Amino acid sequence: MLLQLGYTITDWNSSNTNAPLVIIGREVLSSNYKLPTNLEIYISTGGKSIVFNQHPDSVLVKRGYRVSQYISRYVFPLDSVHPVTKGLDGIDFRNWCGNSTLTEAYPDYLDGKFKTDGRANVPYYSWHWGNRGGVATAAMEKPHQSGWRPILECEFDLAYSPLMELNYKKGLLVWCALDVEDHYEDDPVAAITVNNLIDYVVVKLPEQRNVFTAYIGDEAQEQLPLQSGVLYKKITSITDKVQLLICGNINKQQEQQLKQFILKGGKVLVLPKNEIGEFLGVQFNINDSFFGGKTIPAWNEARGISLSDSRFRTSHPTVLIEKGCDISMEGLLGKKTVGKGQIVFVQFNPLQFNADSFTYFRYSRWRQTRALNQVLANMGVSFINDDNIFKTNEKPLSNISLYGEWKVAFTKQLPGAKTLAEAYPDPGLSETASALVAAVAVESSMTEIPVLMEVEKVKTSWAGLDGEMVYRKKVLVPKNFTTTSVSISLGTLDDYDQVYINGIKVGETDNRTNDTWNFNRYYLIPAGVLKEGENTIAIRIWDRYGGGGTTAGYTKRKLFIKQEKANTPGLYHADYRDDYELGDDPFRYFRW
**Which one, of 529, 357, 500, lies nearest residue 437 by Cα?**
500
Instruction: Decide if 2 is inside a domain.
Output: no
User: Is 355 found in the same domain as 246?
Assistant: yes
Instruction: Decide if 577 is inside a domain.
Output: no
3-class secondary structure, 270: strand
**CATH number for position 47:** 3.40.50
User: Is 524 found in the same domain as 404?
Assistant: yes
Q: What pLDDT, on the 0 to 100 scale, is given for residue 67? A: 93
Q: What pLDDT, on the 0 to 100 scale, is given for residue 24? A: 95
Instruction: Decide if 387 is inside a domain.
Output: no
Q: How many domains does the chain have?
A: 3
Q: What pLDDT, on the 0 to 100 scale, is given for residue 578? A: 66
Q: What pLDDT, on the 0 to 100 scale, is given for residue 116? A: 57
Q: What pLDDT, on the 0 to 100 scale, is given for residue 547? A: 85
pLDDT tens, position by position, 421-472: 999 999 999 999 999 999 999 999 999 998 888 888 899 999 999 999 999 9
Instruction: Decide if 509 is inside a domain.
Output: yes
For residue 279, count CB atoms less than 10 angstroms from its CB and return exposed for 0-12, middle for 13-18, buried for 19 or more. Answer: middle
**CATH number for position 413:** 2.60.120.260
User: Is 440 found in the same domain as 403?
Assistant: yes
Q: What pLDDT, on the 0 to 100 scale, is given for residue 54? A: 92
pLDDT tens, position by position, 247-280: 999 999 999 999 999 999 999 999 999 999 999 9
Q: Are 150 and 175 in contact (CB under 8 A)?
A: no
149, 177, 203 - which closes a domain: 203
Q: What parts of the chain have a pLDDT lower than 50?
A: 118-120
Instruction: Decide if 589 is inside a domain.
Output: no
Q: Are 114 and 107 in contact (CB under 8 A)?
A: yes
Q: Which domain holds residue 50?
A: 22-203
Per residue in 397-428, is it b (16+ CB within 10 Å) or e — as a string?
eeebebbeebbbbbbbeeebbeeeeebbebee
User: Is 409 found in the same domain as 344?
Assistant: no
**Which one, of 259, 167, 160, 179, lies nearest residue 586 by Cα?**
160
159, 181, 203 - which closes a domain: 203
E strand or H helix at 436: helix 431-436
User: Is 197 found in the same domain as 221?
Assistant: no
User: Is 288 found in the same domain as 192?
Assistant: no
Q: Are 405 and 387 in contact (CB under 8 A)?
A: no
184, 203, 222 - which closes a domain: 203
Instruction: Decide if 193 is inside a domain.
Output: yes
Q: What pLDDT, on the 0 to 100 scale, is given for residue 361? A: 93
User: Is 334 found in the same domain as 460?
Assistant: no
Instruction: Decide if 432 is inside a domain.
Output: yes
Q: What pLDDT, on the 0 to 100 scale, is given for residue 181? A: 97
Q: Are 229 and 223 in contact (CB under 8 A)?
A: no
User: Is 331 found in the same domain as 411?
Assistant: no
pTM summary value: 0.77
User: Is 346 found in the same domain as 270?
Assistant: yes
CA distances 298 to 79, 129, 186, 302, 312, Å, are 9, 40, 33, 7, 22
User: Is 468 found in the same domain as 510?
Assistant: yes
Instruction: Decide if 580 is inside a domain.
Output: no
> How crowded is the C-beta side of 103, counted as CA atoms within 13 Å?
24
* Torsion angle of the four alpha carbons 288, 373, 94, 179, in this order, in degrees rounded to the nearest 10: -160
Q: Are 408 and 458 in contact (CB under 8 A)?
A: yes
Cis amide leading into 578 (omega within 30): no
User: Is 536 found in the same domain as 408?
Assistant: yes
User: Is 458 found in the same domain as 349?
Assistant: no
